[in-house]
Amino acid sequence: MADTTAISVAAAQMAVTTDVDANLKTILRAIDYAADQKADILLTPEGALSGYTPRFDQTLVERALAEATGRARIRGVGLALGTCFVEPDDGLCYNELRFYDQAGGYLGCHTKILRCGTMTEPSEGEINDYAARPLRVFQFKGLTVGGLICNDLWANPGCTPMPDPHLTQQLSRMGARVIFHAVNGGRDGSELSRVAWQFHEANARMRALAGKVWIATVDNCEPATLPCSEQSGVVAPDGNWVFRSRPQGEHFFAHTIEL
């Protein structure tokens, strides 16, 4: 199948909480928005469905996942859906970006690889909570795409207790032309948070340029009283933003990537 010449990407900069029902309601609204905008696929933040936590109700998440994917199938919208999930084949918990085609077919998932942890030995943090699987690409509408989750892209030097494997470059070499990046970054309104924003933005632009790939990225906006941890939007292979979301609060947006 030949690559498509354009893909319309919608994204939901949304409040991600540990309330699965509340998260689901927002995702359903975002799916309807994406369909109304005639978008091909909707990207959500890291942990958008389950909440960004390894301590969730798997049964509740499975029910919510079925409802979200069912709505997307009815509306003809593909998904790059962030959620934590226990995979039945091995019983392990993963931080996932799950891909679905516009007919509701499950294409597989990217699992977060650069899980955050302390720089001590042994490292402590989410690196102990989530398992990881090998990097892979997916075929969506004849287009090779990849997924990354938060720290996978920028390898924050303060919380990445493993070498930076340059995952954007790896995906580029694997043939990915668009990378979907789901984020749930911490921030507290301090000067350090502003430095982190600059670091995140610079990494998105530099890695898009280095890999000659498009990057669509979206962050959690909770708490809405603070700016997000990164710039949501779309970066072109020349390293320039072609669309920027509002920096704070809920914002659904759509942009057509001309390949």
pLDDT tens readout for residues 116-174: 999 999 999 999 999 999 999 999 999 999 999 999 999 999 999 999 999 999 999 99
Q: What is the percent of the chain where pLDDT is above 70? A: 99
- pLDDT for the residue 4: 78
On whether residue 1 sits in a domain, the answer given is no
Residues 55-71: what's their mean pLDDT?
98
Chain segment 69-126, per-residue pLDDT in tens: 999 999 999 999 999 999 999 999 999 999 999 999 999 999 999 999 999 999 999 9
**Structural domain harbouring 12:** 6-258
On whether residue 234 sits in a domain, the answer given is yes
pLDDT, the chain, mean: 97
- Contacts of residue 32, Cβ cutoff 8 Å, sequence gap at least 6: 71, 75
CATH number at residue 228: 3.60.110.10
- pLDDT for the residue 181: 98
Say yes or no to pLDDT of 2 above 80: no
On whether residue 142 sits in a domain, the answer given is yes
On whether residue 141 sits in a domain, the answer given is yes
Residues 188-195: what's their mean pLDDT?
94
On whether residue 201 sits in a domain, the answer given is yes
* Ordered alpha helix ranges (H), 37-113: 58-75
- Number of domains, the chain: 1
* Paired sense of beta strands 178-182 and 251-258, if any: unpaired
What angle separates helix 58-75 from helix 20-36, to the nearest 10 degrees?
A: 10
CA–CA distance, 177 with 71 (Å, rounded to integer): 27
On whether residue 123 sits in a domain, the answer given is yes
Q: Using pLDDT thresholds of 50, 70 and 90, give the confidence band for residue 3.
A: low
Chain segment 22-37, per-residue pLDDT in tens: 999 999 999 999 999 9
Say yes or no to pLDDT of 40 above 50: yes
Residues 208-216: what's their mean pLDDT?
98
On whether residue 120 sits in a domain, the answer given is yes
- pLDDT for the residue 1: 43
On whether residue 163 sits in a domain, the answer given is yes
